[in-house]
Amino acid sequence: MALTLADKIWNDHVVRRAEGEPDLIYIDLHLLHEVNTPPAFEGLRESGRRVRRPDLTLGTEDHATPTSVARVPLNELHLRRQMEVMRANCQEFGIPMYPLGHSRQGIVHVIGPELGLVQPGMTIVCCDSHTTTHGAFGTLAFGIGTSQVEHVLATQTLGMHPMKNMSVTITGELAPGVTPKDVVLALINKIGTGGGVGHVMEFRGQVIEDMSMEGRMTVCNMAVEAGSRAGLVAPDETTFAYLKGRPHAPQGEQWDAELARWRELRSDPDAVFDESVVIDGSALTPFVTWGVNPAQSVPLSERVPSVDDFSDDKSRRAAARALEYMDLTPGTAMRDIPIDAVFIGSCTNGRIEDLRAAAGVLRGRKVADSVNVLLVAGSATVRAQAVDEGLEEVFNEAGVTLQPGTGCSMCCALNEDMLQPGQRSASTNNRNFEGRQGPGARTHVVSPEVAAASAVAGRLASPADLEN
Amino acid sequence: MDAFTVHTGRMVPLRRSDVDTDQIFPGRFGRNATSRTGYAKALFGNWRDQEPDFVLNLPVYQGADVLVAGADFATGSSREYAVWALQDYGFKAVLSPRFGDIFRGNAPKRGLIPVVLDQEVIEQLWTMAEEDPSTLVTVDLVERRVTAPGISVPFEIDEDTRYRLLNGLDDIAVTEHHLDAIDAYEARRRPALPQTTRG
């Protein structure tokens, strides 16, 4: 029978299959962060269980870490309970862990790939919905809850109900200035926040084939914003080139053997998908959100919609609420919306390519006096690379500081980085939910290019707008 | 885990769709949190603080323990705090036309039942709960049926989740019956697969 790539990876990891029960799936890599895991370790201790495979588990600190400092002094660690508990848990159970200040620390979805731990065909879980990011390498990767974290720690498996398959094809070629972020925002706009529920999305088509690994990670990262359980891209030469030479990548003969295996990882030509979506990539322009979920978006060239632009009751009610929360007047040109803050970073857009894109826009320019810019590398490795490449100088000359620490920062506001009530940001993160960047904060989700241009213009803008 | 069989209670009509887990459990309540309990006050914390007429602030719905929500309830972040907050507040069941996948998996593991019902049924329940807050609804997992005055509709839930809920079974204990299968799988895993402890 013809199978999709997701089905093949699934079948390859079935530990036990029984009628009427979920498949028991083996997990190749379990990533942990400090916010959602403490109760899982507490559960292990209460039941006297151990971690079955600490060697397939990796911990980091990212959600609650400060970015204003490169490390937290040990005598202040007790003030940061989740970090303190995370370090103690990993030590007690023998799990490798990269704390803030370590050269490999960073956002969990940035460090996994950059260490070469994420390889085609694997199953990967993490207590974070954006685990879908790792699907960019042709893996089955999905977010799990804390109870499931405890289950994986104890058994290295997870009981899972089958997923449906959705093919998402992006045809053509992106116009200059159009980014992977715009592709995925356009997709979510088209199918809605629940459009992918129960499905794993396979991204394909010329635009995806031409895309860098960083770009594919951005797209897979936000597959969850359409409700998908996972998103993936079949591995190809771009994937292999990214992996080669990374700390955990296979070497020598083992590399050749794995490579031969990875080349086989693709959906059969006649595989049947439960759903198919096609988007003409050539027609896309920069996308921005106007509302309070990632599907409430428009091209930057358009205007704030009105309730009457929506036909069904659910969308009309949601639009009315969003317009009120976002304090927007229907008909306002998106480009006329002034902003107070810009956030560049996150597991969606905190990689080196994103920092290069931002620097490309900021080079030789100054950010507007009215805008506070928060720029946070996705990992210590990305930060070091940005410094090496001279990007930090570009940022400094534009009036922007590259934060010393790395982590989720103002994407989730589970740390010190947040907006004041009523403040409006252009952010490269993934969610414009109410209060996501702080109580009462208003978020417009954008690409790094639009974020940087908006910082200069003081209102939502694309790089092309700055030329005029 | 507590077993769930049949529950009858009053309803809280939450006439909102796309209620993401950031709204159910706003991040600020999670600062320094390291346990599973103590989150009753966090539930819908921003809305309760900022909107005096938010449904949970209305005295008539105090003590009601079946949440009736709009479509795409609990999408977004994987935070299980959302489940714990709903339970700490007292909710036994959540009814919605569609749930976020991660929440739908999380909730039954702690004994909170997510029930998928047609939008029309949800609308009827909203109207009922608004017109008479003392209206009772019954979620019967044994019969897989939701009943309220003038309503009796079946709902779907996969048999395995139902079995574990009815019996209050701990997932890990169930899986531990299959350790031999896990051992066998590990024995045939390729040694080239990455390990976090080397490299």
DSSP calls for B18-58: ---HHHHS-GGGGTT--SS---GGGTTHHHHHH-TTSGGGS
pLDDT, tens digit, 9 for 90 and up, residues A204-242: 999 999 999 999 999 999 999 999 999 999 999 999 999
**A275/B138 Cα distance (integer angstroms):** 35
Residue A199 main-chain phi, psi, to 5 deg: -110, 155
Q: Which residues of A touch B196 (CB under 8 A)?
A: 29, 54-58, 95-96, 117, 248
Confirm if A332 and A458 have CB atoms less than 8 A apart.
no
Whether A280 is in a domain gets the answer no
Domain that holds residue B106: 6-187
Name the residue with tokens 């009753």.
Answer: B40
Interface probe, candidates B16, B23, B25, B34, chain A, greatest A C-beta count within 10 A: B34
**A439/A445 Cα distance (integer angstroms):** 17
Q: Per-residue pLDDT for chain A (468 aa), expressed as one digit of tens each? A: 899 999 999 999 999 999 989 999 999 999 999 999 999 999 999 999 999 999 999 999 999 999 999 999 888 888 899 999 999 999 999 999 999 999 999 999 999 999 999 999 999 999 999 999 999 999 999 999 999 999 999 999 999 999 999 999 999 999 999 999 999 999 999 999 999 999 999 999 999 999 999 999 999 999 999 999 999 999 999 999 999 999 999 999 999 999 999 999 999 999 999 999 999 999 999 999 999 999 999 999 999 999 999 998 889 999 999 999 999 999 999 999 999 999 999 999 999 999 999 999 999 999 999 999 999 999 999 999 999 999 999 999 999 999 999 999 999 999 999 999 999 999 999 999 999 999 999 999 999 999 999 999 999 999 999 997
Do A305 and A217 lie in a common domain?
no
Do A262 and A331 lie in a common domain?
no
For residue B59, pLDDT beyond 90:
yes
Query: CB contact, 8 Å: B37 with chain A?
Result: no
Last residue of a domain, one of A244, A275, A306: A275
Residue B103 main-chain phi, psi, to 5 deg: -60, -40
Do A410 and A355 lie in a common domain?
yes
Do A428 and A311 lie in a common domain?
yes
Q: Which residues of B touch A36 (CB under 8 A)?
A: 78-81
Task: Identify the band that residue B30 occupies on the pLDDT scale cut at 50, 70 and 90.
Answer: confident
Distances (CA, A) of A88 to A37, A101, A198, B149: 12, 16, 36, 53
Helix/strand/coil for A309: helix
Interface probe, candidates B177, B196, B198, chain A, greatest A C-beta count within 10 A: B196
What integer pLDDT is reported at residue B128 of this predicted model? 98
Q: Which residues of B touch A85 (CB under 8 A)?
A: 34
Whether B56 is in a domain gets the answer yes
Whether B196 is in a domain gets the answer no
Asked if the Cβ–Cβ distance from B18 to A127 is below 8 Å, we say: no
CB within 8 Å of chain B, chain A residues 209-248: 225, 227-229, 247-248
Q: Which residues of B touch A434 (CB under 8 A)?
A: 22-23, 46
Helices (H), A389-447: 391-398
Task: Identify the band that residue B1 occupies on the pLDDT scale cut at 50, 70 and 90.
Answer: confident
Whether B192 is in a domain gets the answer no
Whether B75 is in a domain gets the answer yes
Smallest CA-to-CA distance from A60 within B32, B196, B194 is with B196
Looking up residue A188, the CATH number of its domain turns out to be: 3.30.499.10
Confirm if A137 and A120 have CB atoms less than 8 A apart.
yes
Do A357 and A242 lie in a common domain?
no
Interface probe, candidates A130, A147, A432, A434, chain B, greatest B C-beta count within 10 A: A147
Helix (H) / strand (E) element for A181: namely helix A180-191
Query: CB contact, 8 Å: A133 with chain B?
Result: no
Q: How many domains does chain B have?
A: 1
Task: Identify the band that residue B86 occupies on the pLDDT scale cut at 50, 70 and 90.
Answer: very high
Across A97-160, where does the E strand assignment appear? 97-98, 123-126, 140-143, 157-160
Query: CB contact, 8 Å: B13 with chain A?
Result: no
Query: CB contact, 8 Å: B123 with chain A?
Result: no
As to burial, measured by CB atoms within 10 angstroms (0-12 exposed, 13-18 middle, 19+ buried), residue B142 is exposed
Whether A281 is in a domain gets the answer no
Query: CB contact, 8 Å: B187 with chain A?
Result: no
What integer pLDDT is reported at residue B33 of this predicted model? 86
Q: Which residues of B touch A64 (CB under 8 A)?
A: 31
**A424/A340 Cα distance (integer angstroms):** 5
Asked if the Cβ–Cβ distance from A29 to B196 is below 8 Å, we say: yes
Task: Identify the band that residue B2 occupies on the pLDDT scale cut at 50, 70 and 90.
Answer: confident
Do A247 and A302 lie in a common domain?
no
Q: Which residues of B touch A348 (CB under 8 A)?
A: none
b or e along A431-461 (b: 16 or more beta carbons within 10 Å of the residue's beta carbon)?
Answer: bbbbbbbbbebbbbbbbbbbbbbbbbbbbbb
Whether A306 is in a domain gets the answer yes
Both tokens assigned to A97: 């862990």
Q: How many domains does chain A have?
A: 2
Looking up residue B76, the CATH number of its domain turns out to be: 3.20.19.10
Last residue of a domain, one of A275, A302, A331: A275
Helices (H), A327-447: 346-349, 352-362, 380-388, 391-398
Confirm if A281 and A206 have CB atoms less than 8 A apart.
yes
Helix/strand/coil for A47: helix
The answer for residues whose C-beta is within 8 angstroms of residue A295's C-beta and 6 or more apart is: A188, A189, A191, A192, A193, A225, A226
Distances (CA, A) of B98 to A58, A110, B116: 33, 31, 6
Both tokens assigned to A142: 């999905």
Length of chain B (residues): 199
Confirm if A373 and A436 have CB atoms less than 8 A apart.
no
Do A73 and A203 lie in a common domain?
yes
Whether B199 is in a domain gets the answer no
